[in-house]
Chains A and B, each alone.
Chain A
């Protein structure tokens, strides 16, 4: 349990900032998922915009590059009629020596209502949330190895779409758990929503020490870990990990941990395959799986917009 007050919630227990899945009660997660359900329909219309956030200014502040995530937040903000500005601060202010809080203070002076923040340092969005004006909201778009809450939410939303209920599922997360904020957010989301069996599968060097404490079963063998699962989440193997001593080679990694049709056959016949993208085909996932009938990787992208719309709409409606 969190000893100090959860700064993500306001006095009424409503979501004010989205910084991490850890510590959020089930009712908050379910409210986000249910609201996103309504936005899925909006995204399928010819007219994809609703006027909900007219006049609100949302700043995407990416201290670490990610064109893809930034774009999905931009699309979500635009479909809510917010004004959205994306700053690639990785290439501008910070390279000139400006501190995070000075960057945020400058943008706040332009009357920002919400910041969507990505940073390579775990906890950076917390620092920002503690220093913005009470009416300003902060969304963590990925901080270091800590969390990527909207990715975790879109993952569980996708799982719920295909599997309806969480309370009978076995879910496996495969790959570089150690460095993955996606894995951490997904583990907290699935645990809170009541998934009874959660497994992580990966080489010992890419599994955090004491990961079992999060309530997961640990496997180093795909053949054992994938048996009978309903959902497989494949994590991206970041190329930079290859340079260190953690892994021998991409081809050896693929032969042991790459998801091939043969390995997927060990899971339930109706198991679904998730991947947060961008994929390394032939490293963590075989093209036959990525493009196969069990892959829900592109629906994840579609639902990601609805989830981000839901988060922004709920936050913008919360007052402090």
Chain B
């Protein structure tokens, strides 16, 4: 069966996100990339933003609320936060903001490492469809995406970012 799969260049969205953040985040704000798309974005942001932005990576699998529906995902990456989050200004970086459930899980994950001074949220794409009272502080772009489509960030071998859209697979 052939599956409709669309690809879109994500670099303009990344530039828009970076420029918004450059104007607003603390000089020492620490970037927390959510695996895997958010981790790529956080690495790029660290490289392209001025300031001393330490990097951490989280996998929210152990904090999700859908274990009994979807099971544990096949690959859980190791959360790696090489600094104290206590009293820190953090920015969670993720690729696509949809229901808000993984951001809820990300916030809970971070609080198990300490009490941050603040947490802000940066996403490449806000596709609407929120199921929780969560909003992003920085958004590359807002896109309207049909509910039956999955939107995900990918990276080619040169490091270039692009978005793919395809029907959800169970």
Q: Residues on A close to B: CB < 8 A?
A: 14, 31, 34-35, 37-38, 40-42, 45, 47, 49-53, 313-314, 316-319
Q: Which chain A residues border B79 with CB–CB below 8 Å?
A: 38, 41-42
Q: Which chain A residues border B78 with CB–CB below 8 Å?
A: 37-38, 40-41
Q: Which chain A residues border B112 with CB–CB below 8 Å?
A: 45, 47, 49-50
A39 CB to closest chain B CB, in angstroms?
A: 8
Top 7 A-B pairs, shortest CB-CB distance? A317-B71, A50-B62, A317-B72, A47-B112, A38-B76, A38-B78, A52-B62
Knowing that A38-B76, A41-B80 touch, tell me 18 more A-B residue pairs with CB under 8 angstroms: A34-B75, A34-B76, A35-B72, A38-B59, A38-B77, A45-B113, A47-B113, A50-B112, A51-B62, A52-B63, A52-B64, A313-B62, A316-B67, A316-B72, A317-B68, A317-B70, A318-B71, A319-B71
A164 CB to closest chain B CB, in angstroms?
A: 16
Q: Which chain A residues border B108 with CB–CB below 8 Å?
A: 51
Q: Mark B72-107, 1 if CB is under 8 A from A, else 0.
A: 101111111000000000000000000000000000
Given A41-B80, A45-B113, A317-B68, A31-B63 contact (CB < 8 Å): no
**Which residue of B62, B64, B67, B68 contacts A38 across the interface (Cβ within 8 Å)?**
B62
Q: Which chain B residues border A47 with CB–CB below 8 Å?
A: 112-113
B64 CB to closest chain A CB, in angstroms?
A: 8
Q: Mark B25-52, 1 if CB is under 8 A from A, else 0.
A: 0000000000000000000000000000
Q: How far is the CA of A35 from the CA of B75 in the complex (A)?
A: 7
A153 CB to closest chain B CB, in angstroms?
A: 16
| Count of chain A to chain B residue pairs whose CB atoms are closer than 8 Å in the complex | 54
**Which residue of A34, A35, A42, A52 contacts B67 across the interface (Cβ within 8 Å)?**
A52
Q: Residues on B close to A: CB < 8 A?
A: 59, 61-64, 67-68, 70-72, 74-80, 108, 112-113
Q: How far is the CA of A14 from the CA of B113 in the complex (A)?
A: 32
| Inter-subunit contact B62/A42 (CB<8 Å) | yes
Q: Which chain B residues border A49 with CB–CB below 8 Å?
A: 112
Q: How far is the CA of A319 from the CA of B70 in the complex (A)?
A: 9
| Inter-subunit contact B72/A51 (CB<8 Å) | no
Q: Which chain A residues border B71 with CB–CB below 8 Å?
A: 14, 314, 317-319
B78 CB to closest chain A CB, in angstroms?
A: 5
A selection of 23 A-B contacts at a CB cut-off of 8 Å is A31-B74, A31-B75, A35-B72, A35-B76, A37-B78, A38-B59, A38-B61, A38-B62, A38-B77, A41-B80, A47-B113, A50-B62, A50-B63, A51-B62, A51-B63, A51-B108, A53-B67, A313-B67, A313-B72, A314-B71, A317-B68, A318-B71, A319-B68
The chain A residue with its CB closest to the CB of B72 is A317
The chain B residue with its CB closest to the CB of A37 is B78
Q: How far is the CA of A53 from the CA of B108 in the complex (A)?
A: 15
Q: Which chain B residues border A314 with CB–CB below 8 Å?
A: 71-72
A96 CB to closest chain B CB, in angstroms?
A: 35
The chain A residue with its CB closest to the CB of B69 is A319
Q: How far is the CA of A52 from the CA of B109 in the complex (A)?
A: 11
Q: Which chain B residues border A41 with CB–CB below 8 Å?
A: 78-80
A25 CB to closest chain B CB, in angstroms?
A: 13
Q: How far is the CA of A34 from the CA of B74 in the complex (A)?
A: 9
Q: Which chain A residues border B80 with CB–CB below 8 Å?
A: 41
Q: Which chain A residues border B62 with CB–CB below 8 Å?
A: 38, 42, 50-52, 313
B151 CB to closest chain A CB, in angstroms?
A: 24
The chain A residue with its CB closest to the CB of B111 is A47
A250 CB to closest chain B CB, in angstroms?
A: 43
B103 CB to closest chain A CB, in angstroms?
A: 16
- Most B CB atoms within 10 A — which of A14, A40, A49, A51? A51
Q: How far is the CA of A47 from the CA of B81 in the complex (A)?
A: 13
The chain A residue with its CB closest to the CB of B62 is A50
Q: How far is the CA of A53 from the CA of B65 in the complex (A)?
A: 10
The chain B residue with its CB closest to the CB of A14 is B71
B9 CB to closest chain A CB, in angstroms?
A: 32
Q: Which chain B residues border A319 with CB–CB below 8 Å?
A: 68, 71
